[in-house]
Structure 1
Amino acid sequence: MRSLAPGIKLITSFSRDSWYRFFILIVTFVFYTTYHLSRKPISIVKSQLHRNCSYVVHPADLNITDNDTWCDWAPFDQNNYQYLFGVLDNCFLVAYAIGMFFSGMFGERLPLRYYLSSGMILSGLFTVLFGLGFYWQIHALWYYCLVQALNGLVQTTGWPAVVACVGNWFGKGKRGFIMGIWNSHTSVGNILGSLIAGVYVSSSWGLSFIVPGIIIASAGVICFLFLVEKPEDVNCTLPQHHESVEQEPLLRTASSNEEISSTNTSTAVEPAEDHTEAISFCGALRIPGVVEFSLCLLFAKLVSYTFLYWLPLYIANVAHFDPKEAGDLSTLFDVGGIVGGILAGVISDYSGGRATTCCAMLIIAAPMLFLYNKIGQNGLPTTIGMLLWCGALVNGPYALITTAVSADLGTHECLRGNSRALSTVTAIIDGTGSIGAAIGPLLAGLISPTGWNNVFYMLIAADVLACLLLSRLVYKEVRGWCGYSSRQRGFKEI
């Protein structure tokens, strides 16, 4: 009997369910990569919109009346350009934060495939419109603010939808590790967005937006054609969290155990509508841990998004790189973020302590941010090393909260198997974090004229507050490791 080729053996060794789960991970990874890919160009183009024109060689036939601002792009050619950049960032981020609180509820009530694909296509349209401002010679601030705000609203379709889709396909198992790898789409999107924008930033910055806009719109078409929302849609096996709550290895009080036991003996399977009814906003807030992790993410995302929007300009101003070099160098922060997200997932899976993992990384991140500001520009090797470390420690907790923690809370035992809460819980956590994402870049724009040192002090303070907000959850996790159970204290652990 002839043996099968090694490649065919490898392919057939995986079940049909495994192939579908792998496919869902890949396509959702690509989809959210394009979301971040289309957000990144604005941070690269900032240093092109306002430059030091005395270092730029101008054409001989150009009649220059003001040598200080001739190469800048109005209205960002004035001394208040940093404030205007902050306003531009906030038009996107405030709209994103507001829209996110409603997006999760829409995501639970609408087909994810339609919701996600329409969001990507519209986001591509608004990203292209921003870039067309270069070719249409638009110098009105309101135009760029309006396009950014509309883009922020439609981009809220992305995160709740992709997390809900992945949560539908994967159980609790090694969720931290799987989602730690999967969540690298954020950093991969930032890196690709920086590199693509950097190609065109010095010649035709409009293409820095148009090309990413076309990419995310194309991904929206692919989403419409190929996304599978739930395992049951293709007759695949349901993941662990869809089954009876008694199979979840979570601590319960004796009274709650009796209640669940009596429920399961009286009816073998609960009515389907109990499992499919969309949860209310207030009901999602009552899930243990949602409020603490949401507020923690507010400050963690404040730090992450300040780096996302201001790091290239900081590098250009402090280390005196040109816009393309500063953009390329800033991608190292996102490379560190990939490693940090995976590391946070692995550690939290092994230890069982999501909150403790986040808190430890945030504690280490605070002094690392201080060191980066003080010695981060002392030579290229030092800059590279500090950017990698800061990226890992800043983005690690952010990645863990928005993925594994959100999925855990969205399928918490108190929901009794109702996975439709996942989109709302994810939207609440990320929406609260997006408030911080809006505040951080705005504060950076207001504070940076007084010196970059003050910006970093603000970021360090945000890290410390994020740690404090997790202190109650960390305390409970540590007590659990020390052998204390909820039955001993008469309350229900998270």
Structure 2
Amino acid sequence: MAQLPPGIRFITSFSRDQWYRAFIFSLTFFLYASFHLSRKPISIVKGELHKHCAASHEVELNSYKEYAARIQPVKKPSNASQCGWEPFDKNNYKQLLGALDYSFLCAYAIGMYLSGIIGERLPIRYYLTVGMLASGLFTAMFGLGYFYNIHNLWFYIMAQIANGLVQTTGWPSVVTCIGNWFGKGRRGLIMGIWNSHTSVGNILGSLIAAYWVSTCWGLSFVMPGVIIAVMGIVCFLFLIEHPKDISCSCTPSSSSKTILNGACRFRVQMPTLNAKEMSKPQDPEMEHLLIDTENCSVSLNSSPVATGEGRHGTSAISFFGALRIPGVIEFSLCLLFAKLVSYTFLFWLPLYITNVEHLDAKRAGDLSTLFDVGGIFGGILAGLISDRLEKRASTCGMMLLLAAPTLYMFSAVSKMGLEATVVMLLISGALVNGPYALITTAVSADL
């Protein structure tokens, strides 16, 4: 019998379940990367919506000539003013651009709460598909203002609000799906690699938006909108929500018993431990998450707080029931400040680089991707360390403590030159996005 080709031997070396797991890992990675890809253009286009038309009065003549010589001359659109795009060409442009940001973020915050409630009661595939198609529509809607010569501020604010609401369908869906397919063993490393989709999406979004920003900034929104809509169709055609939907045994099939958590309010599934596992010392940080059945005064037949039935027969937890889970409030506060910094960089970093380094919008957008490159390594490193030490809280706390002085150094060192900015962007991205990635993936799935 002839020997099988190397490629076929490689394919057959993996089981059916392993191939399905790898497929879901890759699919959800690119699905959520497309969400971040569609969020990034606004930060790139800010430098084009408002241009520093008074630059000649702010710098000396010789330095301005040198600055102008470095910038490639581009053909100005017929519907653009000298200082940018109306109404962002006025002196209050910072407030107007800020209004676009907090319109999106306020809608995103409200929508995230509603999305978690609604998403628990609907099939992931349908819910995520509708959200991605709607995200593509409202992302492209912002760019259509360029082609239809729209200068009404409320048009752009409403586009941001609508986009912020529908963008919330992404995260609860993909993190639930990936949690269904991967067990808790060494979850930090797996989730750290998987969560790099946020940085990959930001990088791709920056490069795509920067390609058209100086010539036709409307396409900087339309093209990402088309991409996320296409990925929504891919989601509808291929996403498998749970291994048992295809009789896949990817998750451990250990026997489990239904018991109540320390708050005695909702049901959770805990695997039955053997004698060896029972004798193993527990992580001090996770002891408060373990369940003490002796202290629970409610019988196992008690009904859970939430009345709605979630997917696959599990009961949906209420908002106050979720707050009673040990660790939820603490990690939520950590994530609050990590996301505050991350989204500040997401929306304002290219404009900051434009003002400090005197680069055009395209080059500033390309340079801003280094923050996300550092975030990729930071997320993987945080997951690896937390798996090795089995201390997720300590890993997050240490990286956040190091991030605080690093950000202060960034504001000072970035004015010393382009090389210093590159180094500080990589370090800041790793320290900020590391705990961000760990909390939003491994920690949230563990809780």
* Partner residue in 2 for 1:447: none
CA contact 1:313–1:326 (8 Å) conserved in 2: yes
The equivalent of 1:366 in structure 2 is 404
Superposed counterparts of 1:370-449, under 5 Å? 370-409=408-447
CA distance in 2, matches of 1:172, 1:257: 25
The separation in 1 between residues aligned to 2:198 and 2:367, in whole angstroms, is 17
Match of 1:169 in 2: 181
Residues 254 and 42 of structure 1, relative CA distance in 2, 3 Å threshold: closer
Distance change >3 Å, CA 59–CA 287, structure 1 → 2: closer
One-letter amino acid of the structure 2 residue matched with residue 130 of structure 1: F
Partner residue in 2 for 1:450: none
2-side partners of 1:133 and 1:163: how far apart? Answer: 34
What secondary structure is seen at the aligned counterpart in 2 of 1:236? coil
- Offset from partner CA, 1:98-122 (integer Å, 9 cap, x none): 0101111211100100000110000
Q: Give a deviation string over 1:216-244, Cα, whole Å, max 9, x none.
A: 00000000000000001000015249851
Give the letter for the 1:286 counterpart. Answer: R
- Structure 1 alignment gaps of length 5 or more: 265-271, 410-494
Distance between the aligned counterparts of 1:31 and 1:391, measured in 2? Answer: 22
Matched, 1:217 2:229: yes
Q: Which moved more, 1:237-246 or 1:213-222?
A: 237-246
**What is the rounded CA distance, in whole Å, between the counterparts of 2:250 and 2:315 in structure 1?**
18
Q: Secondary structure at the match of 1:102?
A: helix
Q: Aligned letter for 1:207?
A: L
User: Which residue of structure 1 aligns with residue 46 of structure 2?
Assistant: 46
Rate the CA distance shift 1:292–1:242 in 2: closer, same or farther, 3 A.
farther
The CA distance in 2 between the partners of 1:60 and 1:180, in whole Å, is: 43
Whether contact under 8 Å (2:77, 2:215) holds in the other structure is no
Q: 1:172, 1:241 within 8 Å by CA — same for their partners in 2?
A: no
How far does the alpha carbon of each residue in 1:158-193 deviate from its partner, in whole angstroms, 9 at most, with x for none? 000000000011110111000100000000000000
Q: Does the C-alpha gap of structure 1 residues 242 and 131 become closer, same or farther in structure 2, counting only changes over 3 Å?
A: farther
Name the SS for the 1:11 alignment partner.
helix
Contact 1:113 1:228 (8 Å CA) reproduced: yes
| Contact 1:171/1:241 (8 A) holds in 2 | no
Residue 376 of structure 1 deviates from its aligned partner by 2.0
Q: Give me the whole-angstrom Cα distance separating, in 2, the residues matched to 1:371 and 1:60.
A: 37
2:325 maps to 1:313: no
Evaluate the alpha carbon distance shift between residue 359 and residue 63 of structure 1 in structure 2; reply closer, same or farther with a 3 A threshold.
closer
Return closer, same or farther for 1:24/1:257 CA change in 2, 3 Å cut-off. farther
Question: How many residues of Structure 1 are paired with residues of Structure 2 in the alignment?
Answer: 397
2:265 pairs with 1:227: no
The one-character-per-residue Cα deviations of 1:420-467 (angstroms, maximum 9, x if unpaired) are: xxxxxxxxxxxxxxxxxxxxxxxxxxxxxxxxxxxxxxxxxxxxxxxx
Structure 1 runs (4+) deviating above 4 angstroms are 54-64, 248-255, 257-260, 272-275
Go from structure 1 to structure 2 and tell me whether the alpha carbon gap of 1:70 and 1:286 turns closer, same or farther (over 3 Å shift). Answer: same
Identity between Structure 1 and Structure 2 (%): 62
How far apart in 2 are the matches of 1:329 and 1:389? 14
TM-score by length of 2: 0.84
Equivalent in 84, 87, 97 of residue 109 of structure 2: 97
Contact 1:362 1:394 in 2 (8 A): yes
In terms of fraction of residues, the more helix-rich structure is 1
One-letter identity of the residue aligned with 1:387: L
RMSD: 2.7
Aligned to 1:10: 10
- Mapped partners of 1:89, 1:59: distance in 2: 28
